[in-house]
Amino acid sequence: MSWRSVMITQPTKLSVQNRQLKITQDEEWNIPLEDISSIVFETPQISISAKAMSMIADNKIVLYSCDDKHLPNGVFIPFASHSRSLKVIKNQLKMTEAFKKRCWQKIIVQKILNQAEVLRLSDKIKDYKYLENLSQKVNSGDTENKEAIAAKEYFNSLFGNKFNRNYDDIFNASLNYGYSIIRGAIARTIVSYGYIPSIGIHHKSELNSYNLVDDFIEPFRPIVDLWVKNNIFEEVEFNKYVRAELVNLLNVDVKIQGKLQSVNNAINVMISSYTTAINQRDYSKLELPEILPIQIHSYE
């Protein structure tokens, strides 16, 4: 089971030897490919062999590129790795609107509950109770947009009334980075299960190749929010150590199907349950993560 995240921040040559990723800088390191879940390129000064790219795809490793501000701006994911992709795609296209609306309702309910838990863990008890109550009022398809109502209350409570998601600051840089990392991991898993990521449950933009990814990231976002709340302050620099911790959120605990799982594993459980839900035409089979205090998962 893959669990390691590799972050490349300085000039590097990458190749593959004996099914291990060979990292050549001033020194040399070798990491078994089967242990790696993600690789982040934080510098343009990287050369990588075609064989390494191929082996990265074969091992279902998600590879991120970053822009000049060190924010992920691209993702390389395995292609056509499912043995019955046509069957999966046919089932994906046959989903009824009623089924999709019920799935979206479940996703938003869990997102708001996870946001509420972040507020509880942050000692915002009054606002926690408000969101918990609001989660019970989400209808099929969330046609009353309780998600947006919850978001406004949530971010104001968590980061203060002056907080704005459009500001260019350390808080938003950290949030965007963390969301992008989880988004890439979900994209990798969705493709590995044979789905077309542009065909979403709720998100339907013709300009978005990852509509389904943006549906399923919603209940995971509060994990990033909680970490940022606990670790980011105005005087903190958005450096490689902060970014490494955000990448490592893929390895923190959540609860899904009544069990502790890492975020990486929970994503797999979620998409697997989505397949079950589609095949059985039963939206209640969809399993979603419950947020917990930030703690690295034990793989023992």
Question: At residue 218, does pLDDT exceed 70?
Answer: yes
Q: For the segment 167-210, what is each residue's pLDDT rounded down to a tens digit?
A: 999 999 999 999 999 999 999 999 989 999 999 999 999 999 99
pLDDT at residue 79, as a whole number: 73
Task: Read off the pTM.
Answer: 0.92
Residue 2 confidence (pLDDT) above 80 = no
With a cut of 70, say whether residue 80 has pLDDT above it: no
With 0-12 / 13-18 / 19 or more C-beta atoms within 10 angstroms meaning exposed / middle / buried, residue 184 is: buried
Phi, psi of 2 (to 5 degrees): -75, 145
Are 196 and 89 within 8 A, CB to CB? yes
Q: Residue 69's pLDDT is what?
A: 87
Task: Note the Cα 247 to chain centre separation in Å.
Answer: 10
Amino acid at 161: N
Evaluate if residue 39 carries a pLDDT over 70.
Answer: yes
Q: Alpha-carbon distance 215 to 199, whole Å? A: 10
- Can you list the domains of the chain with their CATH numbers? 4-76 (3.100.10.20), 85-296 (1.20.120.920)
pLDDT(299) > 90:
no
